[in-house]
Amino acid sequence: MVELLNKELADVIDLNLQCKQAHWNVKGPHFIGLHELFDKAAEEVEEFADDIAERGVELGGVALGTIQAVSKNSRLSTYPLDLASGREHVAALAGALGRFGAMTRAAIDTASKAGDADTADLFTEVSRGVDKLLWMIEAHLQSKE
């Protein structure tokens, strides 16, 4: 379970930094709304990271949360550094959230099959939160503005 938790930890820390990258660099007519939304997403994702890291330590492991460990172990795609428009950032973050959500659902299954209901429950909570963030961000892709 500790190995599984550390895989998710690398991904969720990367996801947090991708949210911050979008937050810092978004531009365009919907700047303030997206700037605030991306910051809210980063805050929520950071809470997921803390819960995942603490669960691994509770199980006797070491949380591998350094930037070097995250860079080496994240399974998310690299966030493009040349984005500026709100729509571009929304699309990039929606992709990252969707990928992370899929990996988290796979982790629920892995933890359940291993008989660790508490870790599966933690991943279920994270999955619900990520799905909500994805819904809020994808809503910005559903309009022509």
Q: Which positions ≥6 away from 115 have C-beta within 8 Å?
A: none
User: What does DSSP assign to residue 141?
Assistant: G
Q: What would be the CATH architecture of the domain defined by 2-141? A: Up-down Bundle (1.20)
Task: In whole angstroms, give the CA distance from residue 64 to residue 84.
Answer: 31
Chain segment 84-136, per-residue pLDDT in tens: 999 999 999 999 999 999 999 999 999 999 999 999 999 999 999 999 999 99
Answering whether pTM is above 0.75, one says yes
The mean pLDDT value of the chain amounts to 97
- The DSSP annotation for 60-94 comes to T-----SHHHHHHH--SPPPPTT--BHHHHHHHHH
- The predicted pLDDT at position 145 comes to 59
